[in-house]
Amino acid sequence: MFNISYFAPAKLSEALEYLYEHKEAKVLAGGTDLIAKWKKIGHPDMELLDIRNIENFAEISEGKDGLFIGAGAKMAAVQYNSAVNEKFPILAWAASVVGSVQVRNLATIGGNICNAAPSADTVTPLIVYGAEAVIVSKKGERRCLVKDFFTGPGKTVLQSGELLKGFVLPYPEKGSKAAFSKHGRRIGMDLATVGVAVNACVDGGKIKDVKVALGAVGPTPIYVTGLEKFAGAMANEAAAEEIAALAEKQAKPITDVRGTEEYRKDMVYENVRKCLKKAFA
Ligand SMILES: Cc1cc2nc3c(=O)[nH]c(=O)nc-3n(C[C@H](O)[C@H](O)[C@H](O)COP(=O)(O)OP(=O)(O)OC[C@H]3O[C@@H](n4cnc5c(N)ncnc54)[C@H](O)[C@@H]3O)c2cc1C
């Protein structure tokens, strides 16, 4: 037998009050990660805060500064939302390759990030789009770039009493083009062996800005650093190869059932190169 205390408020303020008073409470969104883990560790007693009824928690809305995506938005909603598809197409694409139809109808984008798996599909697009995570607690609201959200495998910057409310994605600059790759043994119902997202802004054939993020090749998702030096360089095959080599160097993969360290490094190079070629085209 196990004991679960369960609270499913309709108001954000009630949820934050509950989290403040129940420091050990677990947040339940779609439950696709949380419940699987709970079963794996032998059904311990737990206090559960169900956030699915909170008003506006799944909203996706266009604002002046960017698109807001609520943490409770399901993968299927992100996949089919017209604003996401029009302005942030690789995020819609990434949501569309999470698990299966059944998983995407339960799993939320907030849960994908808070679970902090290095292979989480929607993380790399959020990073290269410069998304900010909006974090709330009884004390107020703060923001953190998604690239800085992860502190270790399964660990994030979220403190006790804090809830992820959603993301703000600044609208892409004119001339920006993004590309995404989920490299694996198969697309559906498997985690990525290597995940890549790139976002490049090209003006007159020259790189204005380029961002690259990697998944499944380190203890946390990786934001490739040192790309500022490519500003002003020609957006061509040579630049794509140089950036891909830099990404490969920063990848820190392990060997597991999905691939060896060496294979994953090779695939980082190849997928970054291919994605950049698309983004530069
Ligand atoms: C069969 C199967 C296939 C899968 N395939 C993929 C895949 O291909 N790609 C992929 O990326 N993932 C995959 N997953 C993992 C999972 O579906 C995703 O990570 C999903 O997005 C998690 O969202 P959720 O709403 O179910 O989170 P939950 O399980 O409810 O929560 C996950 C964690 O985040 C915390 N949390 C959730 N929301 C918040 C919030 N708003 N604030 C603070 N903490 C919060 C929870 O407390 C928990 O620790 C798969 C899972 C299954 C079961």
The residues near 264 (Cβ < 8 Å, ≥ 6 apart) are 193, 194, 216, 217, 251, 253
Average pLDDT over every residue of 239-253: 98
Q: How far is CA 66 from the centre of its chain?
A: 17
Amino acid at 79: Q
d(CA 214, CA 119): 9
pLDDT > 70 fraction of the chain, expressed in percent and rounded = 100
Distance from the CA of 122 to the center of ligand 1, in angstroms?
11
Q: ∠ CA(175), CA(70), CA(134), 5° rounding?
A: 80
Q: How many angstroms separate the CA atoms of 176 and 212, rounded?
A: 13
Atom number in ligand 1 closest to CA 29 = 30
Q: What's the rounded Cα separation, in Å, for the pair 50 and 266?
A: 42
Confidence grade of residue 190 (pLDDT, cut at 50, 70, 90): confident
Ligand 1, residues at Cβ distance < 6 Å: 26-34, 36, 51, 71, 98-99, 103, 106-108, 110-112, 114-115, 120-121, 158, 163-164, 189, 191
Residue 255 pLDDT more than 90?
yes
CA of 210 to the centre of ligand 1 (A): 29
Residue 74 clears pLDDT 80, i.e. is over it:
yes
Residue 140's SS3 state is strand
Largest distance between two CA atoms of the chain: 66
Going from the Cα of 7 to the center of ligand 1, the distance in angstroms, rounded, reads 19
Question: Measured in angstroms, how far is the CA atom of residue 191 from the centroid of ligand 1?
Answer: 12
Cα-to-centroid distance, 116 and ligand 1 (Å): 9
Nearest to 179 by CA among 201, 203, 204, 196: 196
Domains in the chain, CATH or no CATH each: 4-50 (3.30.43), 60-170 (3.30.465.10), 176-280 (3.30.390.50)
- Identify the burial level of 233 via C-beta atoms within 10 angstroms of its C-beta, where 0-12 means exposed, 13-18 middle and 19 or more buried: middle
Q: What is the pLDDT of residue 275?
A: 98
pLDDT at 149 over 90: yes
Mean pLDDT of the residues in the chain: 96
Q: Is 185 helix (H, G, I), strand (E, B) or coil?
A: coil
